[in-house]
Every structure is written in structure tokens, then in C-alpha cells.
């Protein structure tokens, strides 16, 4: 086969399929008139196509659609066991994770308190600077302690007051609720407790300390709750939903659109998983919007 034949040989298949432009087809026909080898190749391929195309129309009735519809309808009535088990299994998995998180948190807590020793040392320096002005100025005139002592807020684990005040965007003196004395304790006593590291902690201190520690870390219950949005989104996606907002939105609500036919099942699955409030509204013909919001 010479180069010219090779070139025309590539045109034979598109020619037989009617895909060749008229100019190229005319050139090929001209070549075929003078080249017996290419003419034979065309005849072979033509015969092959004619034979093999018989296979595209099998002599049997092809009614797949009816069977498919029957199967879909029957599946809609019977929820398979695997699907029925899916939700309880997910709930059990979430509960197990929450339990493990709680156990780990419980065993890890004392170690963490030890690891914060250097920060306590830093807090011990506070009395030296605060002592000269032990006479408390009026609240309105009192400058924030953090600005007096350090550009960084001190982390006083005895009370956690600096952190709490900083989180609230206030100075210590502006955070009376957090630092309010325990019943039966004067305001002065509280201040002394704050600034006197030499004094051994009282049971009341420990209670206060523990309660504030709890505020800094997510408790295991909330860790489990944080997992809910992911599962809700997964449920929604499984039912073909389009997610509009996930749990990262400002109000923490999950919003998604999905076909109306899937809505009932989806809501029921979400309700099995969570106590969140689920509302439903119609978006367009056949599409509903579901909003899931934690109560």
C-alpha cells in the first residue's frame, strides 16, 4: 500500500457512514476507480458493516421500560432492610463516638491542667503589680488589667477571668457577671483569690475552676451534636437534594431543595436522627425547600 492508498484508506469508513464531505468523497471515488486494492477494501468493509448492523436490531421484543417501572414502584413500597438499618446504625455510631470522646475528655483533663502550669506562673506575677493599688478605684475609672500588665491577656486558670473578659470584649472590671463572688463571699475576697496564688484553692475555687474549664472546651454532648449537620446533609444528598446552605451558615440552619416525591422520606429520616426543627416550603412545581434548624 503506497502513501496515497494509506491516505485514502482512512477515508473509506467515513465515506461508507456518509460522514465524508462531497469534495473528499469525489476524490476518493476517483482513487477507487484506479486502485483495485482500495476498492476491495471498501467492498470488504461495506459487507462487514451490513452484516454487523443486523445485530443492532435483535429479533426479540425489547420492553425494558415496563419491567423497570414495576421494579421502581415495588422498591418504593418496600424499604429494603439495609436502608431501614442505616439510620439506627448511624445513630449508634454517633453515640459511640460521643461516648469515646467523653471518656477521653475525662481522662485527659488533669494532664491538661498540668500542662498549663507556666501560664499559672505568669498569672502569679499579677499581685506584684496590682498590690500598690489594692484600693479598688471606681468601676468607671478602672482601666483594664490587661492593658496595665501585658499586651497579651493573662490566662488565670484560677478564675479564667481574663479570657472570659477578653472573649466578651471587656476588661476584667467590666465583666461583673463572670467574676461575681460566690454566695457568702465578698467582692474583696474574690479579688484576693484572683491575685493571691499562695493561698491554697478552696473547694469553691475548684468548682468555679471546673465550671469555667467546661466553658472553654466543647463538651462531648455538643461534639455529638456537631456531627448531626453532616449526617443531615448526607441524607439530603442521598435523596438528590441540592444544598443551599449547610450548617456553616450564620444561623446554623441547613437548607436544601429536592424533588417533592423525596421530601417525606427525607424529613422522616432527618427526624429519626435529630430533634431539629424541620420546615418545608414549595419552591416550584415538584420542588420543595427544606429547612433544618437546631432547636
Partner 1 sequence: MDEAPDKRARDEELVKSFQSGVAAAFDSLVRNYERRTFVICLRYLGNEEDAREIAQEIFVRAYRALGGFRFECSFSTWLNRITINACINEGKSLFSRIKKRFLKIDSDGEDDERPIQLADHTPIAPELMASLETTKRIEAAIAELEPNHRMAIVLRDIEELSYEEIADVVGVKVGTVKSRIARAREELRIKLKDLR
Q: Note the residues at the interface with partner 1 (CB under 8 A).
A: 17, 19, 44, 47-49, 51-58, 60, 62-65, 67-69, 71-72, 75, 237, 239-241, 258-262, 284-287
Q: Which is nearer to partner 1, 76 or 92 (CB)?
A: 76
Give 17 or 36: the residue with its C-beta nearer to partner 1: 17
Cell reading at 61: 421484543
Question: What minimum distance in Å lies between the beta carbon of 97 and partner 1?
Answer: 27
Alpha-carbon distances, residue 64 vs 56, 71, 93 (angstroms): 16, 11, 40
Nearest CB to partner 1, comparing residues 48 and 108: 48
* For partner 1, the closer CB: 20 or 155: 20
Closest separation in Å from C-beta 240 to partner 1: 2
Say if residues 29 and 11 touch (Cβ distance below 8 Å).
no
Least Cβ distance, residue 1 to partner 1 (angstroms): 14
Q: What is the distance between the alpha carbons of residues 112 and 213, in angstroms, rounded to a whole number?
A: 11
Residue closer to partner 1, measured from CB, 152 or 280: 280
- Which of residues 55 and 198 has its CB atom nearest to partner 1 in the complex? 55
- Report in angstroms how near the CB of residue 86 gets to partner 1 at its nearest: 14
Rounded least distance, CB 245 to partner 1, Å:
18
Q: Of 210, 45, 191, give the one whose Cα is nearest residue 130.
A: 191
Nearer to partner 1, 64 or 111 (CB): 64
267 vs 294: CA distance, rounded Å? 14
CB of 222 to partner 1, least distance (A): 31
Report, in Å, the least distance between residue 287 CB and partner 1. Answer: 5
- Rounded distance, CA 145 to CA 125, Å? 12
Strand partners, 60: none
- Calculate ∠ Cα 92-96-98, nearest 5°: 115
Task: Please provide residue 283's backbone torsions phi and psi, each rounded to the nearest 5 degrees.
Answer: -100, -55
Amino acid at each position: 500500500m503506497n502513501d496515497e492508498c494509506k491516505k485514502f484508506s482512512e477515508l473509506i469508513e467515513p465515506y461508507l457512514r456518509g460522514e465524508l464531505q462531497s469534495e473528499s468523497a469525489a476524490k476518493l471515488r476517483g482513487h477507487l476507480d484506479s486502485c483495485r486494492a482500495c476498492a476491495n477494501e471498501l467492498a470488504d468493509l461495506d459487507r462487514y458493516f451490513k452484516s454487523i448492523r443486523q445485530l443492532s436490531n435483535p429479533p426479540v421484543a425489547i420492553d425494558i421500560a415496563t419491567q423497570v417501572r414495576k421494579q421502581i414502584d415495588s422498591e418504593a413500597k418496600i424499604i429494603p432492610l439495609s436502608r431501614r438499618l442505616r439510620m439506627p446504625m448511624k445513630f449508634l455510631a454517633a453515640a459511640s463516638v460521643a461516648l469515646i470522646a467523653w471518656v477521653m475528655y475525662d481522662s485527659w483533663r488533669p494532664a491538661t491542667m498540668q500542662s498549663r502550669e507556666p501560664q499559672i506562673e505568669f498569672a502569679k506575677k499579677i499581685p506584684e503589680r496590682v498590690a500598690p493599688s489594692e484600693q479598688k478605684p471606681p468601676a468607671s475609672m478602672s482601666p483594664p488589667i490587661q492593658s496595665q500588665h501585658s499586651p497579651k491577656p493573662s490566662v488565670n486558670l484560677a478564675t479564667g477571668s481574663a479570657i472570659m473578659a477578653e472573649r466578651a470584649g471587656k476588661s476584667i472590671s467590666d465583666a461583673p457577671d463572670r467574676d461575681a463572688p460566690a454566695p457568702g463571699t465578698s467582692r474583696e475576697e474574690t479579688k484576693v483569690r484572683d491575685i493571691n496564688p499562695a493561698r491554697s484553692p478552696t473547694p469553691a475555687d475548684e468548682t468555679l475552676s471546673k465550671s469555667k474549664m467546661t466553658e472553654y472546651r466543647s463538651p462531648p454532648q455538643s461534639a455529638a451534636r456537631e456531627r448531626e449537620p453532616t449526617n443531615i446533609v448526607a441524607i439530603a444528598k442521598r435523596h438528590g437534594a441540592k444544598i443551599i446552605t449547610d450548617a456553616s451558615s450564620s444561623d446554623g440552619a441547613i437548607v436544601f431543595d429536592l424533588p417533592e416525591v423525596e421530601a417525606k422520606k427525607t424529613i422522616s429520616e432527618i427526624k429519626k436522627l435529630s430533634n431539629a426543627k424541620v420546615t418545608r416550603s414549595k419552591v416550584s412545581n415538584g420542588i420543595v425547600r427544606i429547612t433544618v434548624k437546631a432547636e
